Chain A
Amino acid sequence: MSDTLPQAALPDAALQEPALPDSTLLDANIAHRYSDFSLEVDFRIAGNPSAPWTILFGPSAAGKSTLLRILAGLTTPQQGRIALDGLPLLDTARRIFIPPGRRNIGFVPQRAALFPHCTVAENIAFGLRHLPPAERSHRIDEVLTLVDAQPLRDRKPARLSGGESQRVAIARALAPRPRLLLLDEPLAALDAAAKPQIIACLRRSGIPILYVSHDLSEIWSLPAQTLLIESGRITAHGPLQQVLAPHREKLLAQLH
Chain B
Amino acid sequence: MPQHWIDLTALWLTVRLAAVTTLILLVLGTLISAWIVFTRSRLRPIVEAVCALPLLLPPTVLGFYLLVLLGPQTAPGRLLTHIVGHPLAFTFWGLVIGSVIYSLPFAVQPLVAGFQSVDPALREQAALLGAGRIRILRELLLPLSKRSVLTAITLVFAHTVGEFGVVLMVGGDIPGATRTLSIAIYDQVQDFSYAQANHTALFLLIVAALALIAAYWRSPHRELTHV
A residues near B (Cβ < 8 Å) are: 72-74, 99-102, 105-107, 109, 111-117, 126-127, 129-130, 157-158, 165, 172-173, 176
Contact = CB atoms under 8 A, between A and B. Distances in A.
Given A100-B128, A101-B127, A117 B227 contact: no
B226 interface: yes
B187 interface: no
A101 B124 CA distance: 10
Interface in B115-152: 119, 121-122, 124-132, 139-140, 143-144
Interface in B185-225: 224-225
B145 to A, nearest CB: 11
Contact of A172 (B121, B129, B131, B132): B129
Please classify how large the interface on chain B is, using the bins under 10, 10 to 19, 20 to 34, 35 or more: 20 to 34
B124 A116 contact: no
Interface of B: 119, 121-122, 124-132, 139-140, 143-144, 224-227
Leading 3 A-B pairs by shortest Cβ distance:
A127-B129, A101-B130, A113-B121
Q: Kindly name the residue among B122, B128, B139 whose own CB sees the greatest number of chain A CB atoms within 10 A.
A: B128
Given A111-B121, A113-B122, A129 B224 contact: no
A101 B143 contact: no
Given A102-B130, A129-B130, A165-B227, A113 B143 contact: no
Contacts of A101: 127-132
Q: Kindly name the residue among A99, A116, A172 whose own CB sees the greatest number of chain B CB atoms within 10 A.
A: A116
B130 A113 contact: no
A109 B121 contact: yes
Given A127-B129, A129-B130, A100 B124 contact: yes
Contacts, number: 64
A176 B227 contact: no
Given A117-B144, A176-B129, A111 B227 contact: yes
A106 B129 CA distance: 8
A116 B128 contact: no
Nearest to A105: B128
A113 B227 contact: yes
22 contacts: A100-B124, A101-B127, A101-B128, A102-B130, A106-B128, A107-B125, A107-B128, A109-B121, A112-B227, A113-B124, A115-B125, A115-B126, A116-B122, A116-B225, A117-B144, A126-B126, A126-B139, A127-B130, A129-B130, A172-B125, A176-B129, A176-B130
A173 B124 CA distance: 12
A107 B124 CA distance: 10
B227 A116 contact: yes
A117 B125 CA distance: 14
B22 to A, nearest CB: 24
A73 B129 CA distance: 12
Given A101-B127, A113-B124, A115-B140, 5 more contacts: A113-B122, A113-B125, A116-B144, A116-B226, A117-B144
A90 to B, nearest CB: 15
B147 to A, nearest CB: 13
A102 B139 CA distance: 19
B116 to A, nearest CB: 16
Contacts of B130: 101-102, 127, 129-130, 176
A168 B122 CA distance: 14
Contact of B122 (A102, A115, A129): A115
Contacts of A129: 130
A101 B125 CA distance: 9
Nearest to A175: B129
Contacts of B131: 101, 126
A117 B138 CA distance: 13
A117 B126 CA distance: 13
A157 B128 contact: no
A99 B143 CA distance: 24
B126 A99 contact: no
